Structure 1
Amino acid sequence: MSRTPEHPSGGADAIEGLLRRHAPQVLGALVRRYGHFDFAEDAVQEALLAAAGQWPGHGVPDNPRGWLIKVASRRLTDVLRSEEARRLREERVAALTPRDAFTAPPPGAGRAPSEDDTLTLLLLCCHPDLTPPARIALTLRAVGGLTTAEIARAHLVPEATMAQRISRAKQKVKGVGFTRPENWRERLPAVLHVLYLIFNEGYTATSGPSLQRAELAGEAIRLTRRAHRLLPDSHEVTGLLALMLLTDARRAARTGPHGELVPLDEQDRTLWDKAAIEEGVALVTRALTRRRPGPYQLRAAIAAVHDEAASPDDTDWRQILGLYDLLVRFVPGPVERLNRAVAVAMVHGPRAGLAELEPLEAELAAGHRLDAVRAHLLERAGDTAAARAAYRAAAGKTLSLPEQHYLQARAARLGPAP
Structure 2
Amino acid sequence: MDLSSVYRAEYGRCVATLTRLLGDIGLAEEAVQDAFAVALEKWEVLPPNPGGWIVTTARNRAVDRFRREATREERHVHALLLHQPDDRPEEVGPVRDDQLRLIFTCSHPALSPSARTALTLRLLGGLEVPEIARAYLVPEATISQRIVRAKKKIRDAAIPYRVPGEAELPDRLPPVLTVLYLIFNEGYAASTGPLLRTDLSGEAVRLARALADLMPDEPEVLGLLALLLLTEARRAARVGPSGELVTLAEQDRTLWNGELIAEGHELVRRCLRRDRPGPYQIQAAINAVHTDGPATDWPQVLALYDQLVAHTPTPIVALNRAVALAEVHGPAAALSVVEDLDIPGYHLLPATRADLLARLGRTDEARAAYDEAAALAGNHTERAFLLGRRARLGER
- The residue matched to 1:399 in structure 2 has which SS? coil
Superposed CA deviations along residues 175-228 of structure 1, whole A, max 9, x for unmatched, are: 21233276442231111111111111110123x342222222112112222222
| 2:314 aligns with one of 310, 333, 341 | 333
- The residue matched to 1:315 in structure 2 has which SS? coil
Aligned to 1:36: 24
Are 1:366 and 2:366 an aligned pair?
A: no
Aligned to 2:187: 202
The answer to whether the 8 Å contact 1:126/1:190 transfers is yes
1:16-415 matches, within 5 Å, as 27=18, 30=21, 35-39=23-27, 80-85=66-71, 90=73, 92-94=75-77, 108=87, 112=91, 115=96, 118-127=99-108, 128-129=111-112, 130=115, 132-140=117-125, 151-152=127-128, 155=131, 170-174=151-155, 175-179=158-162, 180=164, 183-206=168-191, 208-310=192-294, 314-360=295-341, 363-415=342-394
- The residue matched to 1:293 in structure 2 has which SS? coil
- List gaps (5 residues or longer) in structure 1: 1-18, 58-64, 99-104, 142-150
Aligned to 2:137: none
Partner Cα distance (2:367, 2:239) in 1: 23
Residues 124 and 106 of structure 1: CA distance in aligned 2, closer, same or farther (over 3 Å) = farther
Match for 2:24: what amino acid?
A: H
- List gaps (5 residues or longer) in structure 2: 1-9, 134-140
Match for 1:397: what amino acid?
A: L
Match for 1:399: what amino acid?
A: G
Residues 270 and 138 of structure 1: CA distance in aligned 2, closer, same or farther (over 3 Å) = same
Aligned to 2:3: none
The answer to whether the 8 Å contact 1:119/1:230 transfers is no
The answer to whether the 8 Å contact 2:234/2:256 transfers is yes
Partner Cα distance (1:210, 1:29) in 2: 33
Partner Cα distance (1:171, 1:192) in 2: 24
The answer to whether the 8 Å contact 1:259/1:402 transfers is yes
Superposed CA deviations along residues 248-280 of structure 1, whole A, max 9, x for unmatched, are: 111111111221111111111111111111111
Match for 1:406: what amino acid?
A: F
- The residue matched to 2:339 in structure 1 has which SS? helix
Partner Cα distance (2:57, 2:355) in 1: 57
The alpha carbon displacement at 1:111 in A equals: 5.3
Q: CA RMSD in A?
A: 4.2
Partner Cα distance (2:16, 2:383) in 1: 42
Aligned residue-pair number: 364
Give me the identity figure in percent. 46
The answer to whether the 8 Å contact 2:177/2:224 transfers is yes
Residues 154 and 307 of structure 1: CA distance in aligned 2, closer, same or farther (over 3 Å) = farther
The alpha carbon displacement at 1:388 in A equals: 2.9
Partner Cα distance (1:94, 1:199) in 2: 40
The alpha carbon displacement at 1:247 in A equals: 0.8
The answer to whether the 8 Å contact 2:12/2:99 transfers is no
The alpha carbon displacement at 1:393 in A equals: 2.7
The answer to whether the 8 Å contact 2:323/2:352 transfers is yes
For normalisation by structure 1, the TM-score amounts to 0.72
Residues 106 and 327 of structure 1: CA distance in aligned 2, closer, same or farther (over 3 Å) = farther
Partner Cα distance (2:303, 2:174) in 1: 24
The answer to whether the 8 Å contact 1:135/1:169 transfers is no
Partner Cα distance (2:344, 2:64) in 1: 54
Partner Cα distance (1:392, 1:46) in 2: 42
Runs of 4+ in 1 over 6 A off after TM superposition: 19-25, 41-50, 52-55, 68-76, 161-168
For normalisation by structure 2, the TM-score amounts to 0.76
The alpha carbon displacement at 1:173 in A equals: 2.5
Partner Cα distance (2:274, 2:289) in 1: 19
The answer to whether the 8 Å contact 2:237/2:253 transfers is yes
Partner Cα distance (1:393, 1:44) in 2: 39
The alpha carbon displacement at 1:136 in A equals: 0.2
Partner Cα distance (2:26, 2:385) in 1: 43
